[in-house]
Amino acid sequence: MRILLLSLQDENQDAAPAGSTRARVRRLEEEQTLALVRAMRDGGRLAPLLVCLKGSRLHERARALNLPLLAMSGTGNPLALLRLWNRQRRHKKLLIQTVGEEALALGRRVLRMRPSGSALLAHAFFLRPPAPERCKSKEMRAARYILCGSKHVQNRILAAWEQAPDAAAPVVPPIVPADALPLLPPGICLEGFDPPSSFREEEGRHFIFGMGESLAPRSGAQLVARAMAAIWQRDDLPPWEVRMLGGGPRFQEVLEEAAALGVESRLCLLNEQYAPDVLRDCHAWLAPGSSPEEAPDTLWSGFAAGLPVICSRSGLHLERLGGPDQAQNAALAVEENDPQALAKAMIEIMQDAELRHRLAQCGRALARATGLQHMADQACALFEAWLRALGTDAPAPAEKTPDTREPAAAQRDESS
């Protein structure tokens, strides 16, 4: 074990609703954590140990996948800390990687267990940055690197440091802050997505638009309802409908907006569903949101399913698509918060089969780079570089074929 990965999400810690921002962040961090540990284990070049809370969903999933695991009953439990101290002291050099705010304090605590110069601490925030006061904390200042899921996360952390004249940025010279905050966009699970059925108007089928995380803040759900109202009386379009996925507290709000606009008969609010099953029946994907903390599958699910995508030109979408030029090639990008522009794009997608085909082809070319495996491979390359800089003989990256099979032999699960 050269990498200690600390991920202490606990879905039972409070009563966060299933569709809330906090629940979405925890779910995403859980997926990224499992992908990282699996990639390190299966790659054979890095030896990870996952530290998580006993009885959490992450613990159960990691145990089912036979991942190298140390489950703690609590970060203040003396026996749990003794087990952790015993495991980390076996290694001359160690990379301590935390995921999420919950693991910050334990990450610094493990670093203080180590002899000077024998360990490196890194944090990761995939979806949203810590609160400004947390950015200025000792736990953050102790980190050599902070992985950022987007430029929004990166900029918010840098802004918090600039507002703290009494606290030095958590960077070890000669590294400058920009180098200490590398970007690592989160990935999505690509399993289960099948090629969608093509739309043929002469068959009398409905043209179905899909949309994910529809009830999340700034999702654009009400914007879609207004765009629907702008086109619902047109008689030159095929029958159509919009299916919105995702749970959250805005169900009644969105339904009332659709009813007030007279389009509730063309809207399906599906709550939490398995996205690949729903997307098989869709013909286009909508991502009109404007939140800088939007979950990646809100945009990437359409590409993974091979659908033409209509998205807003938000800063996060343009960043994830590689810039304005790439965004225009891969998706039909419209201005933020403009229902007329969105309605025009929906009409264009329904009427132009050649455009649908071109966008779907461009999207499929991007799909592989949106997956969890791609994210994990990027992270492993960074970890190996950091370990070499620390003085560990981490082998150079090598070409490999990802092994998606679960190992036959079970790894030991130490619980405290």
- pLDDT > 70: what percent of the chain? 87
Please enumerate, as own/partner, the contacts of 177-180 that have beta carbons within 8 Å and a separation of 24 or more: 180/143, 180/144, 180/145, 180/146
What confidence score (pLDDT) does residue 245 get?
A: 94
Q: Which DSSP letter does residue 149 get?
A: S
Give the per-residue pLDDT at 409: 36
Give backbone dihedrals phi and psi of 172, rounded to 5 degrees, phi first.
-95, 120
Which residue shows structure tokens 């400004």? Answer: 132
Please compute the mean of the pLDDT values over residues 48-60 and round it to a whole number. 94
Residue 105: CB atoms within 10 A of its CB come to: 17
The span from the CA of 95 to the CA of 364, in Å, is 35
Confidence grade of residue 142 (pLDDT, cut at 50, 70, 90): very high
The span from the CA of 190 to the CA of 210, in Å, is 17
Segment 247-276 mean pLDDT: 92
pLDDT at 382 over 60: yes
The confidence score (pLDDT) of residue 10 equals: 74
User: Do 402 and 65 form a contact (C-beta atoms < 8 A)?
Assistant: no
pLDDT value at residue 65 = 95
DSSP result, 238-286: --EEEEE----TTHHHHHHHHHHHT-GGGEEE--S--HHHHHTT-SEEE
Task: Write phi, then psi, for 339 (nearest 5 degrees).
Answer: -65, -30
In this structure, which CATH number among 3.40.50.2000, 2.60.40.1150, 3.40.47.10, 1.20.1090.10 belongs to the domain 201-370? 3.40.50.2000
- What's the mean per-residue pLDDT of the chain? 86
Could you tell me what percent of the chain has a pLDDT over 90? 63
Question: Is it the case that residue 395 has pLDDT exceeding 80?
Answer: no
Say whether pLDDT at 403 is over 80.
Answer: no
* Both tokens assigned to 18: 């299933």
What's the pLDDT score for residue 18? Answer: 55
Q: Residue 360 carries which side chain, given as an amino acid letter?
A: A
Q: Provide the whole-model pTM.
A: 0.87
Q: What is the pLDDT of residue 178?
A: 58
When mean pLDDT is compared over 35-44, 170-179, 196-205, the highest value belongs to 35-44
Average pLDDT over residues 261-278: 93
Rounded Cα distance, 5 and 37, in Å:
8
Judge contact between 92 and 118, C-beta under 8 A: yes
pLDDT computed for residue 304 by the predictor? 93
- The confidence score (pLDDT) of residue 202 equals 59
pLDDT tens readout for residues 143-188: 999 999 999 999 999 998 887 555 454 443 334 455 799 999 999 9
Q: Is the pLDDT of residue 29 over 80?
A: yes
Query: Can you give the pLDDT at residue 297?
Result: 94
Q: Would you say the C-alpha torsion 193, 263, 356, 319 has a positive or negative sign? A: negative
Instruction: Identify residue 93 by its one-letter amino acid code.
Output: K
pLDDT confidence tier of residue 328, bands split at 50, 70 and 90 = confident
How many Å apart are CA 28 and CA 68, to the nearest integer? Answer: 20
Beta-carbon contacts of 409 under 8 Å, excluding residues fewer than 6 positions away, are: 66
Looking at the structure, give the CATH architecture of the domain made up of residues 3-187+371-415.
3-Layer(aba) Sandwich (3.40)
* Domain spans of the chain, in order of start: 3-187+371-415, 201-370
pLDDT, tens digit, 9 for 90 and up, residues 214-225: 998 899 999 999
pLDDT score for 315: 94
Count Cβ atoms within 10 A of the Cβ of residue 412 and give its class: 0-12 exposed, 13-18 middle, 19 or more buried.
exposed
Q: What is the pLDDT of residue 258?
A: 95
Taking residues 79-108, report their average pLDDT: 90
pLDDT value for 172: 39
